[in-house]
Amino acid sequence: MPSGHAPTVRQRRIGSALRKARDHHNLTVATVARRFGRSQGWMSMVENGLQAIAPDELSDLLDLYGIEDGPLRESLLHLATHKPGTWVRSYEYRISAAALDLASLEEDAAEIRTFQFGIVPGLLQVPDYARKIIAIGTAKHPHDVKTLVDFRMSRQRVLCRPNPPRYIPIIAEAVLHNQVGGDPAIMRAQMRRLTEAARLDHVELHVLPLRASEYIGLTTPYHLLSLRPPGRLTVSVADQHNESIFLEDEERVAMHEATFEQLLEAALDRTASLELLDKVASQS
């Protein structure tokens, strides 16, 4: 039976790996289903990320494909056994599946890399700034806006926990000067938050200076999330106007990683970025 939920990144990652393993052995879905004792439809749904697979069944299927102990097997079994935290489940009927996937990946991440040229990254936004960003241009009920703001603030706990992920945000310099909401007090609070975060050992904030604005044309805002072992998965999440696009294909993710390195080379180093943040904060 289908899981009843939108496919998660983990289900799609497992399904993709199983499909590659089947193709490697030149086996059809029908052949594997017959050998494994499952229906062809079930196998297809697993490979397309539309059906969760239990860890014991996944282990048996990996045995069938001859995938022995090692990083790939360890990674896939880890992804199959992952259970989201209770705080995520409390939002599951009010927050989009994509947002829940992003938050769940952040929870498991060893490293998070982010590029934003228009706004402050969500993990660094103060509540009033987030409220203005979320509410603008929508017809959402005030209660819905509050729910989304609370969810965004909940996501930020990942940077405050013991053993937090390494966080590398790149922010275009123009973001520091934008007057969100038309209230200078909001940006003063936001700048304080940025300068505080930039001083944390696990945060490496970089500013892309105005003189390097041509680099903005390289890409849209996106995040690169690398799971801590044994997950061994890096996902690129591209932010579009009304949706998030999750990319798991290794070649496409590698291209996004290369672009991030280009942006990093064009950005100010950590010390110069903090000096600029302090300067803008003192003037706001």
Residue 194 amino acid letter: L
Does 9-81 match 96-283 in CATH topology?
no
Q: What is the pLDDT of residue 88?
A: 52
Report whether pLDDT(241) > 80: no
Q: Model's pTM, two decimal places? A: 0.78
Fold of 96-283: Endonuclease; Chain A (3.30.870)
Q: What is the pLDDT of residue 82?
A: 67
pLDDT tier, 190 (very low <50, low <70, confident <90, very high otherwise): very high
Q: What is the pLDDT of residue 86?
A: 46
| CA–CA dist 18, 274 (Å, integer) | 45
| CA–CA dist 116, 267 (Å, integer) | 12
| CA–CA dist 42, 33 (Å, integer) | 8
Q: Which of 144-148, 166-170, 279-283 is modeled with the greatest confidence?
A: 166-170
* pLDDT above 90 as % of the chain: 61
- Tens of pLDDT, residues 76-120: 888 888 655 444 545 555 677 778 788 888 988 999 999 999 999
- In the predicted model, what is the mean pLDDT of residues 249-262? 92
Q: Residue 158: CB partners within 8 Å, gap ≥ 6?
A: 106, 107, 109, 123, 164, 165
Dihedral sign computed on CA atoms, order 153, 230, 2, 249: positive
- In the predicted model, what is the mean pLDDT of residues 172-198? 94
Q: What is the pLDDT of residue 183?
A: 86
Phi, psi of 162 (to 5 degrees): -60, 145
Q: What is the pLDDT of residue 73?
A: 86
Domain segments of the chain as ranges? 9-81, 96-283
- In the predicted model, what is the mean pLDDT of residues 23-49? 93
Domain 9-81, second-level architecture: Orthogonal Bundle (1.10)
